[in-house]
Structure 1
Amino acid sequence: MFVGYAIGYYAIEMAMPFIAKLGYADQFESISRRPRTDWPLLIAGFTPIPFKIFTLASGAVGMPLAPFRRAIGAASAYLVAGAIRLGGEKAEVALRRHIEPVGWIALVLFVGLIAWLWLRHQGA
């Protein structure tokens, strides 16, 4: 996980000309200036999108290492283990059977939340 973070952190300078050429440099700078929280990484642990994408992005925007480490630990082990511990064997069977749909639902909810926040900000 930390290798992906380091790649994102150090490789973003090489990617910035491409990002600027696509016209997204201002948006990237805006994201980089915002306070970083670990909740997107917690949600990412349940999505079907490879987690490495989120580790690269965390490094690229300069997320501090402490919240990053806390989030990857929680996302990769504690959330699923906690759900199994609370629900027992039935929860484990259900997670194994339905983890992909749950992941897609988490992703859709996350994107919906981001869209709602963006639209709310645009209207303000």
Structure 2
Amino acid sequence: MHELSIAQSIVELAEEKARERQASAIEELELEIGCLAGVELQTLEFALESAVKGTMLDKARIVRHYIDGEACCGECGTRFPTSALYASCPHCGSWLINILHGKELRIKSIVIK
């Protein structure tokens, strides 16, 4: 379950940034999570609930933005939604695609006290 280590890394990074600014607590943490990021969303949610206990994020509001997958065909330039990293272009059938959105897994913002 690598989601637990991801959740712990999110907490550690947020606390590190808050301490750099002499904060006493984190009020809000905003995350961007792409559907192609390679994490099980429900497992990550559960892991985050456990990882924040006893930390500066214990009472923080965690805002999650889920980002749908979007790709662009390298052959014909068609942009299309995708739920898979490896998909063919729905217009020309080419497998030469570039993922534009959906692989994100990042802290977007931190609100501190």
TM-score (normalizing by structure 2): 0.33
Q: Which has the higher strand share?
A: 2
**Structure with the greater alpha carbon radius of gyration:** 2
Q: Which has the higher helix share?
A: 1
